[in-house]
């Protein structure tokens, strides 16, 4: 592919810069596609360093002509990359490079970046210190807790409703027991943190939904992901969604990108948001039943043959309930290798792999695969955005003393216990 040098020289301002960035991403993508059978697409990008140098020179001329001072908005650089104990060079596109701290974007009324500064100043340190111990024993809980936050926010907003037990808070057929949520884990970790925070700051100070949001952030940070601030001030819901509403609002692992984009657009997420959120699959596991339709009765042509063969050993039939890592390369590290997996056709879910197949999201996947900084930046943006979905603030909802039951149910249970009638407690 020839670079569009003339167009670059003639275009000025952001338009010219964006054209250069698109050309570079397209070149990287083309190289990866042409060498598809390689074990690591990244290796082959090092073969075109002369062209990269030429692009760097063109871009530097473009920047010096356009600005009197060096621009920090975007630049191309070459950075070291280590793989198979050999140091090589990888070309990386750095777009809008300004760190991975949460941007001070507008917040929903009632939320604040320092909501508990006076009422519970040790809140975040209490949570992080305990999670460090939890993840040291079982790092898989990091992905599990991040997933709890996703599932909470996508259904009825970030109100902690997915934490509610149906038996103690309403009909047994609750949000927590809807099929997509049956595999959620980590409720006990959140409940333990609830107790620790209550002891430090009182039981009517910090909401379970805020604890869940902080836990999700720390799950990312403690596995190697970006540090960012979490807007706080959410209140806990007193109702939970029905089974049908839960099914309707949670993205399915079996849908193509088109469906995913259409459904999430209703929640104000664009294509970049969708791809960035999907990047959370860089940690965690998936059950065989969520992807075996790509293996049986015939193999999905968008899956690498060797990868598929290895998966069939883990999942010998379509109904196997075993699990396997979602990220082939670094399953317990929050990084951008998930996107490299996509480019190598080595991912589990239909909804994941199709992000690279679909032309609307392919270039976004490529840009995240070659630039972890960019992925981290966009992931932070969308996490802060998601964390404000349909939140309850002010006097709405309540602050639960226990995350699994509404306060009204808590009072009922307490009164029964005081009456020493354990049969009644068990029937609730």
Co-location of 89 and 104 in the same domain: no
Q: Is residue 292 part of a domain?
A: no
Confidence of residue 74 (pLDDT cuts 50, 70, 90): very low
Where is the domain boundary, 95, 117, 136?
Answer: 95
Q: Is residue 302 part of a domain?
A: no
Q: Identify the CATH number of the domain in which residue 225 sits.
A: 1.10.520.10
**Percent of residues, the chain, with pLDDT higher than 70:** 70
Whether the per-residue pLDDT at 4 is higher than 90: the answer is: no
Between 411 and 22, the more confident residue is 411
Which pLDDT score is estimated for 103? 53
Which residue in this structure is represented by tokens 């088109």?
258
Co-location of 247 and 131 in the same domain: yes
What is the longest distance spanned by two Cα atoms in the chain?
Answer: 85
Whether the per-residue pLDDT at 13 is higher than 80: the answer is: no
* pLDDT tens, position by position, 391-419: 999 999 999 999 999 998 765 444 334 44
Q: Is residue 419 part of a domain?
A: yes
Q: Which positions make up the binding site?
A: 152, 155, 157, 159, 161, 175, 251, 281-282, 327, 335
- Mean pLDDT, rounded, for 79-86: 37
Co-location of 166 and 278 in the same domain: yes
Where is the domain boundary, 69, 95, 121?
Answer: 95
* pLDDT tens, position by position, 346-357: 999 999 999 999
Which pLDDT score is estimated for 408? 86
Which pLDDT score is estimated for 220? 99
Q: How confident is the prediction for the chain on average, in pLDDT?
A: 80
Q: Which positions make up the binding site for Ca(2+)?
A: 152, 155, 157, 159, 161, 175, 282, 327, 335
Co-location of 263 and 355 in the same domain: yes
Co-location of 163 and 125 in the same domain: yes
Give me the number of domains the chain comprises.
2
Co-location of 168 and 19 in the same domain: no
Q: Is residue 273 part of a domain?
A: yes
Whether the per-residue pLDDT at 7 is higher than 70: the answer is: no
Q: Which positions make up the binding site for substrate?
A: 251
Q: Is residue 52 part of a domain?
A: yes
Which pLDDT score is estimated for 411? 52
Which pLDDT score is estimated for 377? 98
Q: Is residue 87 part of a domain?
A: yes
* pLDDT tens, position by position, 278-310: 999 999 999 999 999 999 999 999 999 999 999
Which pLDDT score is estimated for 304? 98
Q: Which positions make up the binding site for heme b?
A: 281
- Mean pLDDT, rounded, for 153-162: 97
Which pLDDT score is estimated for 133? 98
Co-location of 239 and 339 in the same domain: yes
Tell me whether residue 151 is one of the annotated catalytic residues: yes
SS (H, E, C) the chain: CCCCHHHHHHCCHHHHHHHHHHHHHHHHHHHHHHCCCCCCHHHHHHHHHHHHHHHHHHHHHHHHHHCCCCCCCEEEEEEEEEECCEEEEEEEEEECCCCCCCCCCCCCCCCECCCCCCCCCCHHHHHHHHHHHHHHHCCHHHHHHHHHHHHHHHCCCCCCHHHCCHHHHCCCCCCCCCHHHCCCCCHHHHHHHHHHHHHHHCCCCCCHHHHHHHHHHHHHHCCCCCCCCCCECCEECCCCCCHHHHHHHCCCCCCCHHHHHHHHHCCCCCHHHHHHHHHHHHCCEEEHHHCHHHCCCCCCCCCCHHHHHHHHHHCCCCCCCCEEECCCCCCCCCCCHHHHHHHCCCCCCHHHHHHHHCHHHHHHHHHHHHCHHHHHHHHHHHHHHHCCCCCECCCCCECCCCCCCCHHHHHHHHHHHHCCCHHHHHCC
Q: Is residue 317 part of a domain?
A: no
**Percent of residues, the chain, with pLDDT higher than 90:** 68
The pTM of the full predicted model, rounded to 2 decimals, is 0.74
Co-location of 72 and 171 in the same domain: no
Confidence of residue 54 (pLDDT cuts 50, 70, 90): low
* pLDDT tens, position by position, 318-354: 999 999 999 999 999 999 999 999 999 999 999 999 9
Between 50 and 61, the more confident residue is 61
Whether the per-residue pLDDT at 174 is higher than 50: the answer is: yes
Q: In whole angstroms, what is the distance from residue 293 CA to residue 310 CA? A: 15
Co-location of 113 and 84 in the same domain: no
Q: Is residue 291 part of a domain?
A: no
Which pLDDT score is estimated for 80? 39
- Mean pLDDT, rounded, for 55-76: 45
Where is the domain boundary, 95, 128, 151?
Answer: 95
Q: In whole angstroms, what is the distance from residue 330 CA to residue 346 CA? A: 13
Co-location of 115 and 158 in the same domain: yes
Confidence of residue 90 (pLDDT cuts 50, 70, 90): very low
Co-location of 59 and 121 in the same domain: no
Q: Select which of 96, 149, 151, 287 is catalytic.
A: 151
Q: In whole angstroms, what is the distance from residue 349 CA to residue 364 CA? A: 18
Co-location of 181 and 222 in the same domain: yes
Whether the per-residue pLDDT at 65 is higher than 60: the answer is: no
Distance from the Cα of residue 176 to its chain's centroid: 20
DSSP-derived pairing of the beta strands 74-83 and 86-95:
antiparallel
What is the domain extent for residue 89? Answer: 5-95
Between 84 and 261, the more confident residue is 261
Mean pLDDT lowest for which of 73-77, 106-110, 160-164? 73-77
The answer to whether 186 and 284 have CB atoms below 8 angstroms apart is no
């Amino acid at each position: 592919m020839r670079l569009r040098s003339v167009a670059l020289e003639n275009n000025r301002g952001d338009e010219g810069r964006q054209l250069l960035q698109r050309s570079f991403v397209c070149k990287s993508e083309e190289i990866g596609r042409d060498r598809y059978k390689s074990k690591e697409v990244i290796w082959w990008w090092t073969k075109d360093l002369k062209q990269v140098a030429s692009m760097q020179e063109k871009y530097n001329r473009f920047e010096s002509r356009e600005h009197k001072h060096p621009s920090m908005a975007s630049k191309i650089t070459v950075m070291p990359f280590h793989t198979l104990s050999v140091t090589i060079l990888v070309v990386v596109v750095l777009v809008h490079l300004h760190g991975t701290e949460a941007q001070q974007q507008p917040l929903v009324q009632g939320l604040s970046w320092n909501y508990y500064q006076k009422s519970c100043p040790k809140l975040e340190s209490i949570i992080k210190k305990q999670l460090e111990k939890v993840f040291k024993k079982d790092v898989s809980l990091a992905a599990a807790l991040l997933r709890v936050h996703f599932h909470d926010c996508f259904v009825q907003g970030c109100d902690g409703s997915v934490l509610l037990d149906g038996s103690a808070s309403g009909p047994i057929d609750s949000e927590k027991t809807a099929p997509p949520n049956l595999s959620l884990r980590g409720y006990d970790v959140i409940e333990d943190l609830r107790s620790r925070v209550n002891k430090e700051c009182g039981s009517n100070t910090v909401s379970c939904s805020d604890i869940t949001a902080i836990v999700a952030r720390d799950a990312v940070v403690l596995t190697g992901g970006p540090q960012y601030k979490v807007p706080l001030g959410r209140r806990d819901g007193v109702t939970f969604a029905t089974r049908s509403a839960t099914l309707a609002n949670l993205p399915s692992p079996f849908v193509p990108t088109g469906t995913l984009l259409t459904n999430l657009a209703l929640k104000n997420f664009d294509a970049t948001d969708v791809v960035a959120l999907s990047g959370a699959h860089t940690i965690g596991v998936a059950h065989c039943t969520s992807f075996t339709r790509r293996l049986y009765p015939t193999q999905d042509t968008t899956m690498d043959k060797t990868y598929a063969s290895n998966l069939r050993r883990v999942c010998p039939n379509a109904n196997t309930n075993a699990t396997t890592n979602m990220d082939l390369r670094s399953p317990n590290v929050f990084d951008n290798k998930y996107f490299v997996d996509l480019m190598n056709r080595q991912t589990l879910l239909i909804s994941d792999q199709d992000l690279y197949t679909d032309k609307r999201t392919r270039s976004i996947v490529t840009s995240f695969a070659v630039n972890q900084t960019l992925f981290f930046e966009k992931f932070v943006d969308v996490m802060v955005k998601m964390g404000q979905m349909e939140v309850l603030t002010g006097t709405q909802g309540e602050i639960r003393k226990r995350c699994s039951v509404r306060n009204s149910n808590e009072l009922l249970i307490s009164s029964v216990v005081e009456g020493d009638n354990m049969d009644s407690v068990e029937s609730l």
